[in-house]
Amino acid sequence: MPSLFASGRCSRRLGIGVHPGSRLNAWANAAEHHDEEQFAALVRDLAIALAIALVNAFNRGNVIVRRPAGDHQPGRFA
């Protein structure tokens, strides 16, 4: 069963066309080359990588302001 991205139904439903080089085109290409299970795993791994990058960015910000991670004490601002 083709996914919504591969069939173009999602882009038509949103009122946007799939143009070469667009983000929707990249998702459509990925959906064409992988089955639903592989595509779901790809999206899951991407979400995990983005979460790790966000935590890394916050930790780097803490280094810049010289505030160690884990400094929070529950109820401190209550």
pLDDT tens for each residue of 7-64: 555 544 544 555 555 666 777 788 788 888 888 888 899 999 999 999 999 889 888 8
Residues 6+ apart with CB under 8 A from 13: 4
- b/e sequence 22-54, b meaning 16+ C-beta within 10 Å: eebeebbebbeeeeeeebeeeeeeeeeeeeeee
Look at residue 1 in the predicted model and tell me its pLDDT. 45
- HSE toward the beta carbon, residue 53, CA cutoff 13 A: 6
Q: What is the helix (H) or strand (E) element at residue 27, kind and residue range?
A: helix 23-33
Distance CA 11, CA 23 (A): 11
Look at residue 59 in the predicted model and tell me its pLDDT. 86
